[in-house]
Amino acid sequence: MTPPPVVRKVSRAAVEPNRKRGGDVRILLSPRTVHSTSGFGGSLTLEPGEYVCEHLHPYSEEFVYVITGRLQIRIGEELIDLAADDSVMVPKGVRHRMVNLCGEPARVIFHLAPLAPRPELGHVDTEFLPERSDEPAPPVGGAR
C-alpha cells in the first residue's frame, strides 16, 4: 500500500540561505523538505548589484517569476529584462545568469522540473563567485 502524500508547510524564514552562487537562494519545496518527486522550487533575493553565477540544469527546465524589483537574465546569448509580474522559462541544458541592475532588491520565485536522477547531477556551475570558488555547493535535493 502506498503511504499518503506528505503535506508540509515550509516557511522561508526556516530555510537557511544558500549564497554559494550569489544572492539569497532558498530551496523551499524539494525532495528534502516535502518529499517532492517531480521538481523543486524556492525563492531568490538579489540586492542591487548582486548576481547569480552562470550555470545550467542538464535535466530540468527552470521557471522564473519576478515578484518585486527588476533584473536581467541572460539565457544562452539572449539578454532579457524582467520586472515585477514578468516570467520566463530557461530551457533544459541552457546556460543562464541573473543580475539585479536596479536600485532596489529583486524577489523571485523559481521552480525546476523534472528532477535530475541524482541531486549532484542537477546543477552545473560554469562561473563561480571569486571569494567562494572553493566551497562545495549546499545540497538541494537530499535523499529521495
Number of domains into which the chain is organized: 1
CB neighbourhood size of 128 (10 A): 17
pLDDT tens track for 28-63:
999 989 999 999 999 999 999 999 999 999 999 999
Query: Would you say residue 73 has pLDDT above 50?
Result: yes
Return the closest-CA partner of residue 122 out of 23, 27, 7, 46. 27
- Residue that the C-alpha cell 517532492 belongs to: 36
On whether residue 78 sits in a domain, the answer given is yes
Give mean pLDDT, residues 65-80.
97
Cell of 1: 500500500
Cell of 103: 536600485
On whether residue 111 sits in a domain, the answer given is yes
**CA–CA gap between residue 103 and residue 106 (Å, rounded):** 9
On whether residue 138 sits in a domain, the answer given is no
Cell of 93: 541544458
Q: Domain range for residue 49? A: 17-132
Q: Is 107 exposed, middle or buried (0-12, 13-18, 19+ CB in 10 A)?
A: middle
On whether residue 55 sits in a domain, the answer given is yes
